[in-house]
């Protein structure tokens, strides 16, 4: 399974999963149709599935157009998003499995950004390969999604599930927010040497207009403040030793940043 990153809208990413053996493709969170259709044309591949993480239009905006072009494709999404994802046919809950190409993905229920958000994790098929995490707007490189429909406690629980995955997991998040996220992170975790180094690396990437997605989960654990609510530096910045309260205060600070 090859993952092809497609830029969309102003700062979105769409992920095309390509099965070269059978010349088939699936797409994660198609914000708009044209980049997907263009890539499918270049590959001469058939689109067989849409994997949606949540109902926001910048993740499902192309569902209906892609269904028109490929009437046999199957649209997956969270069970709690019933009625909110265009064309949804499969309603997934925590622990469900999805299959594509030679890979089986596990579904995580990760409410917080929305009440129905899910993520898809494809474990590695060999020790040399990374796992693949498609986390929508729950976890970003250097950040996390705003809490539109969920609570801080829900988001901490959701992020805990993702934080428990292996370090060698590629994080395919849906927006190019990394540099801004790390600028904020330095305001609450400024003595973190790993974070300082990452910021300089990401700044160099963005100065060259290069993407910063995917990131590695191991790097997120060291530098992303929204995975570090139990670390002394973040607790000091939030003036709290309670994990959920620490997260909530840091998230509130980010909202105003």
55 is in an annotated binding site: no
- The token pair that represents 70 in the structure block: 């490929």
81 known ligand binder: no
Question: Of 29, 54, 117, 189, which is the active-site residue?
Answer: 54
Q: Determine whether the annotation assigns residue 137 to a binding site.
A: yes
Among the listed residues 96, 113, 117, 189, the single catalytic one is 113
Report the SS3 class of residue 144: strand
- Angle (CA) 92 93 94, round 5°: 135
Catalytic residue of the set 19, 29, 96, 137? 137
Q: Which residues pair with 49 in a beta bridge?
A: 26, 74
Which residue in the list 56, 96, 117, 189 is annotated as catalytic?
56
| Active-site residue, 191 included | no
Q: Is 117 a catalytic residue?
A: no
175 is a catalytic site residue: yes
Please give the Cα distance from 73 to 53 (Å, whole number): 17
Q: Is 239 a catalytic residue?
A: no
54 labelled as ligand-binding?
yes
Asked whether residue 230 is marked as a ligand-binding residue, the answer is no
Is residue 54 flagged as an active site residue? yes
Angle between helices 178-188 and 243-255 (to 10 degrees): 120
Three-class secondary structure of residue 13 per DSSP: strand
Q: Per the residue annotation, which of 19, 58, 96, 189 is the catalytic one?
A: 58
Decide: residue 3, CB within 10 A, 0-12 exposed, 13-18 middle, 19+ buried. middle
Choose, from 29, 96, 175, 189, the residue flagged as catalytic.
175
Radius of gyration of the chain (CA): 18
Q: Exactly one of 29, 59, 96, 189 is catalytic; name it.
A: 59
Residues with active-site annotation: 54, 56, 58-59, 113, 137, 175
Q: Known binding site for Zn(2+): residues?
A: 54, 56, 58-59, 113, 137, 175
For the annotated binding site, the residues are: 54, 56, 58-59, 113, 137, 175
């Amino acid at each position: 399974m090859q993952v092809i990153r497609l830029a969309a809208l102003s700062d979105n990413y769409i992920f095309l999963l390509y099965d070269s053996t059978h010349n088939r493709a699936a797409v994660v969170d198609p914000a708009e149709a044209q980049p997907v259709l263009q890539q499918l044309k270049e590959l001469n591949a058939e689109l067989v599935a849409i994997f949606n993480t949540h109902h926001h239009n910048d993740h499902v905006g192309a569902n209906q157009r892609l269904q028109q072009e490929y009437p046999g494709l199957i649209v997956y999404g969270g069970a709690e998003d019933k009625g909110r994802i265009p064309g949804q046919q499969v309603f997934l809950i925590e622990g469900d499995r999805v299959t594509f190409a030679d890979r089986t993905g596990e579904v995580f229920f990760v409410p917080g950004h929305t009440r129905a958000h899910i993520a898809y994790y494809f474990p590695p098929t060999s020790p040399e390969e990374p796992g693949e995490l498609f986390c929508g707007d729950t976890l970003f490189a250097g950040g996390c999604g705003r809490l539109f429909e969920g609570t801080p406690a829900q988001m901490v629980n959701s992020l805990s599930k993702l934080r428990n995955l292996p370090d060698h997991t590629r994080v395919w998040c849906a927006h190019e927010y990394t540099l801004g996220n790390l600028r904020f992170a330095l305001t609450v975790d400024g003595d973190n040497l790993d974070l300082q180094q990452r910021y300089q690396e990401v700044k160099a990437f963005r100065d060259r207009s290069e993407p910063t997605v995917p990131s590695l989960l191991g790097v997120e654990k060291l530098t992303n403040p929204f995975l570090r609510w139990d670390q002394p530096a973040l607790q000091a910045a939030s003036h709290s030793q309670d994990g959920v309260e620490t997260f909530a205060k840091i998230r509130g600070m980010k909202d105003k940043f």
